[in-house]
């Protein structure tokens, strides 16, 4: 049986690293690409103990020739595009970079795969941010997009580029509309990691306060290692399609904060300060998801919800700070 080859673009990030681990366990030959493979430390791959098992290349998704070269070199059966500027908050400060790295990058990748005329399957990382506010109704795959950030606008454009290439050229191309999914591999700029890391430092007496913006926003938080399995499942289907990946359970950021401090035997009210500078120009107040299609067609269902995610992140953070 021929070993399948996978190319993960954005392999250094949270999802890319967990996906690489999953595919290696399934017997794939895994190639990872990032903007500068020579300079990146690939600390997440090291953390998971798989750095030496992943072949690494440099690629710039904004450069069509660079994309074409890495595809010709790797000859992948499956491509997972997890690259691009990944912070919603930062997208307000870098709207052009965000749009180009996400939307133009996806278009270059789709066109390069089409140009090579090989039956390569492609997964694109889309986002729940595309939906914006859904007026209190759980989003389904047919819910209209109403993006409320430069990041969401870019992800929406990329989503429709994937759908258009699937319909126009018969490509096996799909997008995963992933709701929030967390792990200890999240960078510190993500609010969940900031909360967990700072709460642990407060418990250790190293700092006194955690400063946050809008605590009333509500999100669906899942466990990242489960979500990468859904990505893989999408590319194993006979027919390509798009799927919402979520737990179906929504909690406020305040509940996330309270759970983290409770785990450490503290009352969050004593340690959290409001910082208006951290409030975004526009934001989604309530994020609701209906992941029934993924369960029905992929056989995928989330097994970890918010409190599980907080518990595991706290445990790993405490171990890392010792």
Active site residues: 127, 129, 151
Query: Cα(309)–Cα(192) distance, rounded to whole angstroms?
Result: 10
Which position has the token pair 């999408």?
234
Angle subtended at Cα 133 by Cα 306 and Cα 18, rounded to the nearest 5 degrees: 40
Alpha helices (H) along the chain: 14-25, 43-47, 64-74, 88-91, 95-99, 105-116, 150-169, 191-203, 224-235, 253-263, 292-293, 306-321
Count of alpha carbons within 13 angstroms of residue 279, beta-carbon side: 10
3-state SS assignment for residue 293: helix
> For residue 191, what are the CA distances in angstroms to 11, 104, 288?
21, 27, 19
Q: Are the CB atoms for 108 and 157 separated by under 8 Å?
A: no
Q: Which of 55, 50, 80, 67 has the alpha carbon at shortest distance from 113?
A: 67
Residue 276 burial (CB count, 10 A): 7
Q: Are the CB atoms for 300 and 222 separated by under 8 Å?
A: no
> 64-70 long-range contacts, Cβ below 8 Å, gap at least 24?
64/108, 64/111, 64/112, 67/108, 67/109, 67/112, 68/112, 68/115, 68/116, 70/7, 70/33
């Amino acid at each position: 049986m021929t070993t399948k080859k996978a190319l993960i673009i954005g392999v250094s990030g949270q999802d890319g690293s967990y996906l690489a681990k999953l595919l290696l366990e399934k017997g794939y030959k895994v190639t990872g690409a990032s903007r500068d493979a020579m300079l990146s430390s690939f600390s997440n791959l090291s953390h998971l103990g798989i750095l030496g098992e992943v072949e690494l290349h440099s690629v710039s998704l904004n450069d069509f020739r660079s994309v074409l070269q890495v595809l010709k070199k790797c000859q992948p059966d499956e491509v997972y595009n997890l690259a691009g500027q990944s912070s919603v908050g930062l997208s307000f400060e870098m709207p052009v970079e965000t749009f180009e790295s996400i939307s133009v990058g996806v278009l270059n990748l789709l066109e390069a795969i089409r140009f090579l005329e090989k039956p390569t399957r492609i997964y694109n990382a889309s986002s729940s941010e595309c939906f914006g506010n859904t007026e209190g109704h759980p989003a389904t795959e047919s819910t209209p997009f109403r993006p409320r950030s430069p990041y969401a606008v870019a992800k929406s454009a990329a989503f429709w580029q994937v759908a258009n290439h699937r319909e126009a050229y018969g490509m096996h191309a799909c997008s995963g509309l992933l709701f929030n999914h967390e792990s200890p591999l999240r960078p510190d700029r993500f609010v969940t990691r900031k909360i967990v890391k700072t709460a642990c430092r407060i418990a250790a007496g190293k700092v006194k306060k955690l400063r946050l913006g809008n605590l009333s926003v509500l999100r669906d938080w899942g466990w990242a290692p489960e979500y990468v399995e859904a990505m893989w499942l999408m590319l194993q289907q006979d027919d390509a399609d798009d799927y919402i990946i979520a737990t179906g359970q929504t909690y406020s950021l305040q509940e996330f904060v309270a759970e983290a401090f409770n785990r450490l035997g503290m009352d969050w009210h004593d340690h959290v300060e409001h910082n208006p500078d951290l409030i975004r120009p526009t934001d989604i107040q309530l994020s609701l998801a209906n992941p029934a299609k993924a369960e029905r067609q992929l056989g995928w269902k989330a097994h970890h919800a918010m409190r599980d995610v907080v518990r595991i992140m706290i445990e790993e953070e405490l171990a890392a700070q010792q």
